[in-house]
Each structure stands twice: as structure tokens, then as C-alpha cells.
Amino acid sequence: MKIRYSVENIHCQKCADTILNLLSDEFGDIDVFLDKEPREISVNLESKEHEEAFKKEMDEIGFPIIEELERS
């Protein structure tokens, strides 16, 4: 399931690259939208457990999720 979130502390491409470098291996394709404010990300998550793990990882690397915006 593709989920879009708004996220804190993403300021630039370097922040986006940090997220991609640290989490892409575990969570697959992650899209970071730097043209939105607050910044948004989109990721395909397989289960509720996978979603919780993603949120925890995002928080641990300094980019906490603000809210879920869309599921498709």
C-alpha cells in the first residue's frame, strides 16, 4: 500500500538523500517531495508492522512523521 506522509525536519536535498540512503534498502522506493511545506514523503508499505517500523526509523533518524495524508 502506497502511503503519503507529511514529515518534520526535511529542509533540503541532503535531508532527502539521508532518508533514501538509510531506509531504501529496508523499505524500498521512497519519494521525497521538497516542493511541499511541510515536506512530504511517499512509501509503499506491506503491513501494519512494516508501517510502524518505518515510522519508528524515521523518528530515530530525526525526521518524525507529522501525519498521514493519503493511502492508495
3-state secondary structure at position 71: strand
- Of 55, 20, 49, the C-alpha closest to 34 is 20
The whole-model pTM stands at 0.94
* pLDDT score at 47: 95
- Residue span of the structural domain in which 66 resides: 2-71
Predicted confidence band of residue 60 (pLDDT cuts 50, 70, 90): very high
Q: What are 8-48's pLDDT values in tens digits? A: 999 999 999 999 999 999 999 999 999 999 999 999 999 99
- Number of domains the chain is built from: 1
CATH value at residue 25: 3.30.70.100
